[in-house]
Structure 1
Amino acid sequence: MAEPTIELGSVVRLKSGGPLMTVDSMAGDHVRCVWHDEAKQLQMQPILRSSLVVEQPPRR
């Protein structure tokens, strides 16, 4: 079975673990993810697509 495709709104996680993040935008091999850290502060970071795994596809 093929891995789900990363799309806008997908819930992802680093392959190495970490918090659940939502895909906010995509450009080439980079995906900008947003999440709340332990202090409930909003974080944003571009991350290489190959470093991510889809935990939940986007809601339609």
Structure 2
Amino acid sequence: MDERRRSGADEAQNDWIEWGGGDCPVDGNAQVEVRNAKGWVLSAPVFALKWHSVVAYRVVPA
């Protein structure tokens, strides 16, 4: 899993989808970037994440 912190300006320029929690909203084995409440950004396949801690996500193009 790739983990890093991004600046607010960088995030504002991207297509983040706000997420209120619950089951994974993305099908299959897609690669996604997710942001948690602390502002950390993780890049991982959807099956490797705990979606209850996600506040925003975006699908990474293949």
Structure whose residues are more often helix by fraction:
2
Q: Which bin holds the TM-score, normalised by the shorter protein? A: 0.3 to 0.5
Structure whose residues are more often strand by fraction:
1
TM-score by length of 2: 0.39
TM-score by length of 1: 0.40
